[in-house]
Amino acid sequence: MPEKPEKTAEIEEHIKDIQDISIAIDSWDDVFSDFDPSPIDHRILSEDFLSELKKRYRETQRGEFVITIYAPASLKDEVTEKLVNKRLKQYFKFRHLSLQKEIALAVRKGSLFVVGGIAALSSLTMLTYFQMLDKLALELIAIILMPLGWFGIWEGFSRIIEPAPLLKQDLELFGKLSKAAFKFKYAGSQEEATVAPVVKQESKHEVKPTGVAAQEIKSESKHEPKEEKEVK
């Protein structure tokens, strides 16, 4: 049965949402840090590689990511490819979880700011209402507690409502990268595969002489031995 128009529209929309990011490298050191001598499955990613991914993310933030890494044919190795793929996903997932913890910590700190600000203003209100101190002392304490209380409330709410805009951007970035699909393409591997069939087709379709041209070739082949005898 033919697919419904709604399903085909959803598939087309999903394909449009997929963003392809292509990055060319000369060696695996372009992906991982040069200063980390650990094996590939434990190495830290290069800052240049991460900054390039962030730059591409700012250009196309919509949809899912498919990251294609173009490398020389000398780097082609299935075992290394699997290790790199595993390490990239593992690293991006770790960074995503770490940023979630940092944002949660920022929200908790914001809550403490709010509680501290409310406590400062409440203390000032209680001291003033019950007149526990003389007027001069209350005015001196108010100079400290009032701005401190309002600062704590406003700063705390700002951290709770919008905790670190840069952290939120990185959280979205690493969240998408942890779910992205990674592909590896190597220079020269596809060209050799496409050249071979062309050569075979040319050998199959050699031009065969027909008609008068074929008769002339046969007559020339018959006269060749006689010319050799005359030379002798």
By three-state DSSP, how is residue 25 classified?
coil
Token duo for residue 86: 């595993």
pLDDT band at 92 (very low <50, low <70, confident <90, very high): very high
Q: Which residues contact 202 (CB under 8 A, 6 or more apart)?
A: none
Where do the domains of the chain lie? 13-186
Spacing of C-alpha 88 from chain mean position:
9
Q: Which residues contact 198 (CB under 8 A, 6 or more apart)?
A: none
Whole-number pLDDT of residue 17: 54
Residues belonging to the chain: 232
Rounded to an integer, the average pLDDT of 196-211 is 39
Q: What is the reported pTM?
A: 0.65
Tens digits of residue pLDDT in 105-125: 989 999 999 999 999 999 999
3-state secondary structure 78-89: HHHHHHHHHHHH
Tens digits of residue pLDDT in 31-79: 998 888 888 888 899 999 999 888 888 776 666 788 999 999 999 999 9
**Backbone CA torsion sign across 147, 150, 152, 154:** negative
Higher pLDDT, 218 or 181: 181
Neighbour-count burial for 90-129, b at 16+ CB within 10 Å, e otherwise: ebbeebbeebeeebeebeeebeebbebbeebbeebeebee
Rounded to an integer, the average pLDDT of 195-215 is 39
Please give the Cα distance from 191 to 40 (Å, whole number): 29
Residue 66 bridge partners (DSSP):
20, 181
Single-letter code of the amino acid located at 113: F
Q: Which residues contact 179 (CB under 8 A, 6 or more apart)?
A: 64, 65
